[in-house]
Homo-oligomer: A and B are copies of this chain.
Amino acid sequence: MSYFQQHQSDFVEGLKAFLRIPSISTLSENKPDIRRAADFALKELRAAGMTAAELIEGQGNPLVYAEWLGAPGKPTVLFYGHYDVQPPDPLDEWKSPPFEPEIRGDDIFARGACDDKGQVYIQIKAVEGLLKTTGKLPVNVKFLLEGEEETGGEHIEAYVKTKPPRLKADAAVVCDTEMFAPDLPTICVGLRGMVYYELFVEGANHDLHSGVYGGAAPNPIMAIAEILCALKDRDGHIHIPGFYDRVVPPSQKERNAWARLPFDEKEYVEKEMGARELVGEPNVPLFERVWARPTLEAHGIRGGFVGEGAKTVIPARAVVKISTRLVADQRVDESVEQFKAAVKAVTPKGVTAQVKMLHSGAPSLTNPDNPFIHAAAEAMKQVFGKETVYIRSGGSIPIVGVFDRYLGVPSVLMGFGLPDDNLHAPNEKFHLPNMFRGIESVARYLEILGQ
């Protein structure tokens, strides 16, 4: 019985302690929890045997750094993950409280279980196991964990942009994606980028009686509806001039590989999504829609009277949160200009619309013909006993673009989440068997790289 198998219950208890910290980066009231989570990760890295472990302080939430450099002549791997989590609301839809981890069946339920504390924990425990049993690692290893991934990761980006010598590495390993199916080892080679906006619309400078002024007064809720509908039509097509110009379609080889993936659409729609039917661009295959096409979505909207009962008011203002997901080779800055110009062009008369960009991340697309990716595929194949598949993800991990651009380092996306892990939603979970196999896969990966 290996170290990894012997310590499974310790791993679960340790992860539970990590998950109990409500390190929600988007809410200022959780600042102290952010620090507690950073300290927790720091302590775990030290206990695992990593050296030079410290918090890197800056403008935002601290980065957690650690290294083990006892393998001269061997490659250097930079592990990345994030210790911050999404807000848990809507709270009343959780079956168990989001920050009181509960195991039901083979799954552990808590905010951050999969995204990304569980996967950060995989990285730490893989290293711990190798160090505890062999006293060394097969390659040089560095850790860089951040606490702002869910709010844009500005601090880590600012830090990486300075190209600090201690971040020098041959490859980054990012564990923040998912497997295509429960037993199917998966490497993600493409990510969408994202720009997140708030759009504020104001009509009159005070709320107006809808009887007295209705028919002549500008209505910011209607204006937001008109702007949204002008930006995206019912077929999911985005009407922002120039927006699609740089979109690179997937190759026929990639399309063919996607078509071969084991997939049950009914299960995906009804069980995983809990939806009635799929929507989006007609004639574009599903995986291409969610992995290789840009989107525009509204995430939250508020305006006027939303209390109990009726209030006949034309509100003075309303606000909507919107994001665009970008794909290779769309450029963040250019898309922001295009978005702002489009909003301006379609804003109806009588209101003003203000666009505020909250954060952004570039899309990324990695060439799978890379020894660090091959080694990862081999390690996962050995642990899971199945051929590894290459997919993309519709999500955004901006750090991948940042590592590529400023450190010249390719990222290996070894993800151990599952499609039904409810990321960013109530009842987020992590599949414990995948945590255990994930730890072994990452350890095996380091061994292969060291050969």
Contact indicator A310/B359 (Cβ below 8 Å): yes
* B-chain residues with CB within 8 Å of residue A206 when the two chains form the complex: 93, 274, 422, 425-427
With A and B bound together, what is the CA distance between A219 and B299 in angstroms?
9
With A and B bound together, what is the CA distance between A302 and B301 in angstroms?
5
Instruction: Tell which of B212, B229, B358 touches A423, judged by Cβ atoms closer than 8 Å.
Output: B212
* B-chain residues with CB within 8 Å of residue A129 when the two chains form the complex: none
Given A214-B394, A225-B229, A301-B303, A275 and B87 touching (CB < 8 A)? no
With A and B bound together, what is the CA distance between A155 and B263 in angstroms?
57
* Segment among A68-76, A158-166, A254-262, A311-319 that sits at the interface with chain B: A311-319
With A and B bound together, what is the CA distance between A222 and B230 in angstroms?
11
Q: How many residues of A contact B (CB 8 A)?
A: 101
Given A90-B207, A224-B225, A321-B310, A217 and B273 touching (CB < 8 A)? yes
Contact indicator B297/A214 (Cβ below 8 Å): yes
With A and B bound together, what is the CA distance between A213 and B286 in angstroms?
10
* B-chain residues with CB within 8 Å of residue A274 when the two chains form the complex: 204-206, 316
* B-chain residues with CB within 8 Å of residue A434 when the two chains form the complex: none
| A293 beta carbon closer than 8 Å to chain B | yes
Closest to A351 in B: B276
Contact indicator A151/B309 (Cβ below 8 Å): yes
| A300 beta carbon closer than 8 Å to chain B | yes
* B-chain residues with CB within 8 Å of residue A393 when the two chains form the complex: 211-212
Per-position 1/0 for A402-439, Cβ under 8 A of B: 00000000000000000100111111000000000000
* B-chain residues with CB within 8 Å of residue A425 when the two chains form the complex: 206-209, 313
Which residues of chain A from 205 to 264 have any CB-CB distance to chain B below 8 Å in the complex?
Answer: 205-219, 221-222, 224-226, 228-229, 232, 234, 236
Given A215-B293, A224-B225, A299-B210, A152 and B323 touching (CB < 8 A)? no
Closest to A425 in B: B207
Closest to A233 in B: B226
Instruction: Tell which of B213, B299, B318 touches A304, judged by Cβ atoms closer than 8 Å.
Output: B299
| A97 beta carbon closer than 8 Å to chain B | no
19 contacts between A and B (CB under 8 A): A87-B311, A151-B310, A178-B212, A196-B310, A196-B312, A204-B275, A206-B425, A208-B273, A209-B424, A210-B325, A215-B280, A218-B276, A219-B298, A225-B225, A225-B229, A274-B316, A298-B304, A299-B305, A300-B313
Extra pairs beyond A206-B422, A207-B424 (14, CB < 8 Å): A26-B311, A89-B307, A196-B312, A209-B423, A211-B395, A215-B290, A218-B276, A218-B279, A221-B228, A225-B229, A278-B350, A299-B312, A300-B303, A300-B311
